[in-house]
């Protein structure tokens, strides 16, 4: 991947960055009020929205103006309606709904954590005692995992389609740091003979069980409560999946995880890595670069990497890299590799 970013030349471009957090908060506030779902049935007036949200008119009107200015809502003489993007992605329960991910994980967890970014950069403090610290709380783990499930379903299906031929015939999959199990669910649905184990922290796998059972895969997806860095992994796996894990651990821990992946795979087994990835020059994409940066707020040893740099680390652990390429445009890459025979 190559850099697509350009340096800024105008003050208004600087302002867009400096004021961007206000637009973010407007989106999160609207999601907390479930405004987009309330508008799914049709256009509504300010008074009608005040009645169903219990927000005073002057305050709600100010929010509605902001949402319209951001392009999330449309306004005419008859009232407010969802814009195309809001109608497709921000209505609760919609097939492609993404709002719960924004509301729960970004609005309630990552947004507050970033107030600690200065301390994280200085190495003097952090929002949490690493990501594991956040996920040790059952309430926070449930919020994080529910949000992650909403945000991961599309990527999980895309990855299952991408690596499908390489997984054909595999019997055992270990999904390390598997969160809600979205990726295991997608892969098991595509491969009827596959059995999976989702390995994650205790409070996380408890939530994963709900999604596994709802998918009708209780007999094919096992749950293992463990710390991916400190605890042992099951052996003789045909496939190991690491999705969004390497970006969430420290630099030295990446090597620990890759060594464990190599050692638990059967000879010639398949390793699949899906994670945020910079272009080869490190200048973007913007979304990937910002995702790496937010980890600094709560992990002192975090590092950012490109797909090419990650491929070199895999080779350093004896893997043969088969393929690498973008999965979520501008954000993530997927790599596949074989363990030593």
Residues 6+ apart with CB under 8 A from 195: 171, 172, 173, 188, 220, 221, 222
Compute the half-sphere exposure of residue 327: CA atoms within 13 Å on the CB side of its CA: 28
The verdict on 17 and 133 lying in the same domain is no
Give the pLDDT confidence score for residue 132 in this predicted structure. Answer: 62
Instruction: Report the number of distinct structural domains present in the chain.
Output: 2
> Which residues sit opposite 333 in a β-bridge?
275, 326
Q: Domain range for residue 119?
A: 111-338
Give percent of the chain above pLDDT 90: 78
Please report whether residue 79 resides in a domain.
yes
Same domain, residue pair 81 and 54: yes
Do residues 172 and 141 share a domain?
A: yes
Cα-trace Rg, the chain: 21
Q: Residue 1 has what pLDDT?
A: 44
Q: Which of 97, 121, 150 is the last residue of a domain?
A: 97
Per-residue pLDDT band for 131 (boundaries 50, 70, 90) equals: low
pTM of the full predicted structure? 0.86
| Judgement on whether residues 56 and 190 belong to the same structural domain of the protein | no
Any domain includes 4: no
In a domain, 106, yes or no: no
| Separation CA 187–CA 171 (nearest Å) | 12
Q: Tens digit of pLDDT for each residue in 15-73?
A: 999 999 999 999 999 999 999 999 999 999 999 999 999 999 999 999 999 999 999 99
Dist CA 163 CA 153 (whole Å)? 16
Report the alpha-carbon distance of residue 99 to residue 232 in Å, rounded.
Answer: 36
Residue 6 inside a domain? The answer is no
Residue 102 lies in a domain: no
Claim to verify: residue 186 and residue 306 sit in the same structural domain: yes
Other CB atoms within 10 A of residue 186 CB: 21
Residues 43 and 122 in one domain: no
- Is 103 among the domain residues? no
Q: CB-based contacts of 83: which residues, under 8 Å, 6+ apart?
A: 71, 72, 73, 74
Strands 320-326 and 332-338: antiparallel
Q: Is 274 contained in some domain? A: yes
Q: The domain that contains 270 carries what CATH number?
A: 3.40.50.150
Give the alpha-carbon dihedral of 192, 195, 200, 203, to 10 degrees. Answer: 80
* DSSP code of residue 115: G
Same domain assignment for residues 93 and 219: no
**CATH code assigned at 64:** 1.10.10.10
Residue 2 within a domain: no
pLDDT band of residue 6 (cuts 50, 70, 90) is confident
Pair (148, 219) in one structural domain? yes
> The sheet that has 237-243: what strands, in order across it?
221-225, 195-200, 172-176, 237-243, 265-276, 332-338, 320-326
Query: What does the pLDDT look like over 220-247, one tens digit per residue?
Result: 999 999 999 999 999 999 999 999 999 9
One domain, residues 288 and 323: yes
Note the pLDDT of residue 327.
Answer: 96
């Amino acid at each position: 991947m190559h850099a697509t970013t350009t340096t800024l030349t105008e003050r208004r471009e600087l302002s867009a960055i400096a004021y961007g957090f206000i637009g973010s908060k407007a989106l999160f506030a609207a999601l907390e009020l479930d405004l987009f779902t309330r508008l799914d049935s049709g256009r509504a007036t300010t008074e009608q929205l005040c009645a169903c949200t219990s927000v005073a008119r002057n305050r709600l009107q100010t929010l509605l103006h902001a949402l319209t200015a951001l392009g999330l809502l449309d306004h005419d003489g008859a009232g407010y309606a969802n814009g195309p993007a809001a109608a497709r992605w921000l209505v609760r329960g919609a097939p492609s709904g993404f709002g719960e991910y924004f509301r729960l994980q970004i609005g309630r967890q990552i947004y507050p954590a970033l107030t600690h970014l200065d301390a994280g950069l200085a190495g003097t403090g952090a929002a949490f005692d690493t990501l594991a610290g956040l996920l040790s709380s059952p309430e926070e783990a449930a919020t994080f995992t529910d949000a992650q499930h909403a945000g991961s379903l599309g990527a999980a299906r895309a990855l299952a389609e991408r690596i499908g031929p390489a997984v054909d015939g595999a019997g055992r999959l270990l999904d390390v740091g598997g969160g809600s199990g979205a990726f295991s669910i997608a892969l098991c649905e595509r491969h009827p003979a596959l059995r999976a184990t989702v390995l994650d922290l205790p409070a996380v796998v408890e939530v994963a069980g709900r999604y596994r059972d709802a998918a009708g895969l209780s007999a094919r997806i096992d749950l293992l409560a463990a710390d991916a860095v400190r605890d042992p992994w099951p052996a003789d796996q045909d496939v190991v999946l690491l999705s969004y894990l390497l970006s969430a651990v420290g630099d030295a821990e990446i090597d620990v995880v890759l060594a464990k992946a190599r050692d638990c795979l059967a000879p010639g087994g398949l390793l699949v890595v899906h994670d945020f990835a910079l272009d080869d020059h490190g200048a973007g994409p913007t979304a990937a670069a910002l995702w790496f940066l937010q980890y600094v707020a709560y992990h002192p040893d975090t590092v950012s990497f490109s797909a090419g740099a990650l491929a070199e680390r895999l080779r350093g652990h004896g893997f043969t890299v088969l393929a690498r390429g973008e999965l979520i445009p501008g954000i993530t890459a997927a790599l596949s590799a074989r363990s030593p025979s």
